[in-house]
Chains A and B, each alone.
Chain A
Amino acid sequence: DTEVTQTPKHLVMGMTNKKSLKCEQHMGHRAMYWYKQKAKKPPELMFVYSYEKLSINESVPSRFSPECPNSSLLNLHLHALQPEDSALYLCASSQDLGLAVTDTQYFGPGTRLTVL
C-alpha cells in the first residue's frame, strides 16, 4: 500500500477561523512533508518531519503550525490565514531522510484550501 490520504479534500475558511488539515500514511515511513502549490506552479516545500520531529521549516509564517502526533499522522493547523494562502496543500511521505537521498516521496491528493 503506497497511499497517503488527506482530509478534507476541500476547505473554505474565513480569515478569523481556525482549521486543521490532516495527513495519514501507513507505509511505515519516518519522514513526512507539507507542500503548498499555487495554481499553475510547482509545489513549494513548507515543512519536513523526521521521526516525528520538525526537521525543516522553510520560513513559513506562524499562522501555519505543523504537528506530528505520531509516525503515521501529520497535521497542519491554520489560523488567521490570508486570501493569498488559498492553494492546494499537499502532504508527502518517504521512508527516511538522509539514509537514501533518492527515497521516493509519495504524495497525497491534497486539500484544496480557499480563504475568504
Chain B
Amino acid sequence: AQSVTQLGSHVSVSEGALVLLRCNYSSSVPPYLFWYVQYPNQGLQLLLKYTSAATLVKGINGFEAEFKKSETSFHLTKPSAHMSDAAEYFCAVTYTGTASKLTFGTGTRLQVTL
C-alpha cells in the first residue's frame, strides 16, 4: 500500500532561514508526489508536483522539492522563509491506476518567527 510520512508535525524557523519539510513515501510502484499548502481557514493549494519528468521540481512561492528514489524522499525546501509562509503543509502520493486518489501525510505546521 502506498503512504507518505511527514517527519515533524511542527517546524519553527526564523524569517530568512532555510525551510526544510520532510516527506518520505512508501510505494511498490512508481509514485507521483505532491506538496499542498493550507493557510488557516482555507482550502488546499498545490505548491508543486513530481511527475517523473525531472527530479528537481520548482513550485510556487519559491518552494522546490527533490525526488530521491534511493532515499524514498520528496523533501520540500525554500532558501529563505517569509512570515507569509506560516501554514500547514501536506505531502501526498498517488500512482497510476488509483484514479487520482490522493493519500495525504499527516501534515507539518510551519511557524515563522521574527
* Chain A residue, CB-CB nearest to B94: A101
Decide: B98 and A45 in contact? CB cutoff 8 A. no
A84-115 interface with B by 8 A CB criterion: 90, 92, 94, 97-98, 101-110, 112
Decide: B43 and A4 in contact? CB cutoff 8 A. yes
Decide: B100 and A42 in contact? CB cutoff 8 A. no
Question: Interface residues of B toward A: which range?
Answer: 20 to 34
Across-interface contacts of A42 in B (CB, < 8 A): 90, 104-107
* Chain A residue, CB-CB nearest to B36: A107
Q: How far is the CA of A6 from the CA of B3 in the complex (A)?
A: 29
Decide: A94 and B100 in contact? CB cutoff 8 A. yes
Question: A16 near B: Cβ within 8 Å?
Answer: no
Decide: A109 and B42 in contact? CB cutoff 8 A. yes
Question: Interface residues of A toward B: which range?
Answer: 20 to 34
Q: Which listed residue, B44, B96, B97, touches A90 by the CB 8 Å rule? A: B44
> Is chain B's binding surface mostly helix, strand, loop or mixed?
loop
Q: How far is the CA of A43 from the CA of B45 in the complex (A)?
A: 13
- Contact surface of B with A, Cβ cutoff 8 Å: 32, 36, 41-46, 49, 51, 90, 94-102, 104-107
Q: How far is the CA of A74 from the CA of B82 in the complex (A)?
A: 36
Q: How far is the CA of A92 from the CA of B46 in the complex (A)?
A: 12
Across-interface contacts of B101 in A (CB, < 8 A): 45, 48, 56
10 nearest A-B pairs in the assembled complex, by CB-CB distance:
A42-B104, A107-B43, A107-B44, A102-B51, A97-B99, A109-B43, A102-B32, A101-B96, A108-B43, A110-B43
